[in-house]
Amino acid sequence: MSQTLVVVGQGYVGLPMALRAAEVGLKVHGLDTNSRTVAALNAGVSHIDDVSDADLAAGLANGYEATADPACIENADVVVVCVPTPLAPEGGPDLRPVEVAAQAIGEHLSPDTLVILESTTYPGTTEEIFAPLVTRGRFEVGSDVFIAFSPERIDPGNKTFGVRNTPKVVGGMTPECTHRAREFYGLFIDTVVEARGAKEAEMAKLLENTFRHVNIALVNEMLRFSQELDIDLWDAIDCAETKPFGFMAFRPGPGVGGHCIPVDPSYLSHRVKAKLGYAFRMVELAEEINHAAPDYVASRVWSLLNDHGKAVNGAKVLLLGVTYKPDIADCRESPADPLAGRLLSWGADLSYHDPFVPRWSPRGADAELTSVTDLEAAVASADVVVLLQPHAQYDLDRLAAVGSPLLDTRGVIDQTEAVQRL
């Protein structure tokens, strides 16, 4: 297979895709602006959870190579952009990484190249911002060069679905752009789905994550009054889930985290307000509820301590699992951070344990914290333990048996006198 691929951005999205493409015989350049990341990758050292050093070694043997030189784009048949789009202060995506990548592509682009944007953004970005920077007025889209959008669907830590077997949506600026993008992804992905165009593909990504965001907010809101009404919401959800149609189970927790759910719906809300002049109220309400979830956890910690005759000020509070989801090392937008900040502001003596995060600098901490080494001893000495992420390494029954007051924010431990659910 003679195609040459350049993947711009070698993070959680770009690196797994680059290695999968190399696996089927493409010549792959992983382009990244971080020279230390490039050096580590070429030395066989991975920096993300879903790619082991062994996986990377196999990719290097298959012809993958990391580089910081954008000149590699000149010989590319396909360029895929997987750079981050963090939330800007005004609420929309910070498109500077996308713009920098597009400008670099435009400077080195050759005719007949397929260019695909995967970075999550609002509908219209591919056509209005990305494509003009890529073409620079030198090429016509659909005949000289081919531009499409394909939303990334990486789920860090997912052992079932990865690059190969997660269906890929593609939407081009012209039908020929869509066709070429579909043919490209079909080389190494099992199922490729054509969208009507780039804007529909962009909207599909935001719809997926807004759906989750809103439904998580629904159960987080229901949790508050269910606790007051002495209703076990987790049991109610388990019962509702037995319905074979018309229901999808979402469960409450300490808040939302990661690179998608807390961020992506805001892009759509910002776009609607900026373009149409009115609010996307469903998203704004979901954001309000989910952003308040860590404070609700803090209030439950306060209540639990109060029930045991102790004040938060000076109390030993142990957090278990500070990543945004189980069994990964990713702390991006983790609800553990604002929770820690609230507890520290109340004077709590805060500690934590996480097998994936040896050191942590939460909001409000005077210095970097270190994960406790003797977990059972830390649980036994804590005034309250808060389970945030049920990592597989945790023996939850054993931790619960220690007898220290434990607040289970995930509903995974049977309730006892010592264990309370959120």
The set of catalytic residues is 260
Terminal-to-terminal C-alpha distance of the chain? 54
Angle at 88 between CA 86 and CA 92, to 5 degrees: 95
Question: Residue 28's beta-bridge partner residues?
Answer: 5
The two structure tokens encoding residue 46: 């991975």
**CA distance linking residue 77 with residue 309, whole number of Å:** 68
At position 394, the amino acid (one-letter code) is: Y
**CA distance linking residue 284 with residue 321, whole number of Å:** 28
**Beta carbons within 10 angstroms of residue 167's beta carbon:** 12
**CA distance linking residue 407 with residue 307, whole number of Å:** 13
When computed from its CA atoms, the radius of gyration of the chain, rounded to whole angstroms, is: 23
Beta-strand pair 192-194/146-149: unpaired
Among the listed residues 116, 182, 183, 185, the one whose alpha carbon sits nearest the alpha carbon of residue 145: 116
